[in-house]
A = this chain, B = another copy of it.
Amino acid sequence: MTGTEVLTGRISDQNGPWLSEQLLALGVDVAHITICGDRPADLAAQLRFLAEQGVDLIVTSGGLGPTADDLTVATVAEFCGRELRLDPELEEHIADIIRRWRPDTPDIDEGPTRVGIRKQAMVPAGAASLPPTGTAPGVVIPAVGGPTPIPTVVILPGPPGELQAMWPSAIAAPTVAEVLARADDLQQATLRAYGLHEAQLAETLRLAETRVPEFDRLEITTCLRRGELDMVTRFASADAGVYRQLLDVLTEHHGRQIFSTDGSTIEDQLVEALGGRLIATAESCTGGLVAARLTDRPGSSEYVMGGVVSYSNAAKADLIDVPAEMIAEHGAVSEQVAAAMAEGARRRLKTDVAVSTTGIAGPGGGTEAKPVGTVCFGVAIAGRPTHTVTRRFPGDRERVRALTTTAALHLVVQQLRRADSEN
């Protein structure tokens, strides 16, 4: 996996996690993710390291561009002891692509553009190339046995869109399919909890260790994310019963906090809880994040009517009718205002449900009574009294905004279910 842009802190690596998830789903046990810059020596060292670990498959991403700093294919080819050869058909194919998206390019047949195209059309001897999903083709290099065996290597482009589009043809390549056929029969189960501290889960897991026979056949990972605690467990299909026993222990102790054992996310559950009802948002401190998360989802226009980012007091009054006197009396960060925001959004956007956030994300604006991280929520549901609550979140501005967004989604689901159970 190459990427100086990761080393320089510009971006965090999306491809490693994505590829791992795909491979895991295919039963492949992913042991290492390595990232290096554009120095061939560093990449070569990582390839040697991975080969020495006895892995069956190496997948690289990135370093396939036309720029001189993109050296993955050449470096991997040398590592595999294979010569690079120009594939004339591939060269023309890439040239055609560039002609299509840059019809104006003057020197497509000569000059620097052609140099870049030719560079991208070099394929290691005996390797198969994967059709470009951008301009860069991928490469599959078969394994070689012997005293110092070389694993199968799959070379993919760096842009996540291109990489993900190329993945199906990569795993369909005979040499790769042959490796995947040897993968163990691994399963992965995800449990999601909200309002549960990692240390509390740790204690219950210690207890389960003593209660559940063959507990050690489960590979458990816990991960905090945006205020939710995910527990990912991997096990051989034969040990599914062991996992079920663990689930029983966890449910017994944390049934209230565990909101998902089937992999569903809170977004999935929100759509289900809405059951066709329409929703709107009224956001202050989250500044649009709640609406953005609701509309992330394809087809969300079916149930998301829209929302208001009432960042200023004037906006609260003008757009969703929050009385200026109320803000003056209780402050913009108050349950009264949160309720008025939710009700105003519901009325103005003509929906069945509306959720509001108003709080102090920081770093400024905190007071003794309402320190940074204080957030008031409102949930308005047609035909019911509006529900409000105040929470206090830790961390910096970004964290407070993220935790508030997650809390808003959980609050809506909780209130919708309560409404349904009481009606």
Contacts and interface: CB of A to CB of B under 8 A. Distances in A.
Interface in A283-302: 283, 286-292, 294-296, 298-301
18 contacts: A8-B221, A8-B232, A9-B24, A10-B230, A11-B223, A12-B16, A31-B36, A35-B35, A42-B53, A69-B220, A161-B395, A287-B291, A295-B309, A296-B401, A304-B312, A306-B309, A306-B312, A319-B319
Given A8-B21, A10-B221, A69-B221, 12 more contacts: A5-B221, A5-B225, A8-B17, A12-B12, A13-B13, A98-B199, A102-B199, A116-B199, A286-B292, A288-B307, A312-B349, A318-B348
A311 B288 contact: no
Contacts of A366: none
Among A115, A202, A364, the most chain B Cβ lie within 10 Å of the Cβ of A202
A46 to B, nearest CB: 7
A71 to B, nearest CB: 12
A270 interface: no
A234 B46 CA distance: 22
A13 B11 contact: no
A209 interface: yes
A17 B21 contact: no
A314 interface: yes
Contact of A13 (B16, B209, B401): B16
Interface string A1-28: 0001111111111101110111010000
Interface stretch (A60-68, A81-89, A374-382): A60-68
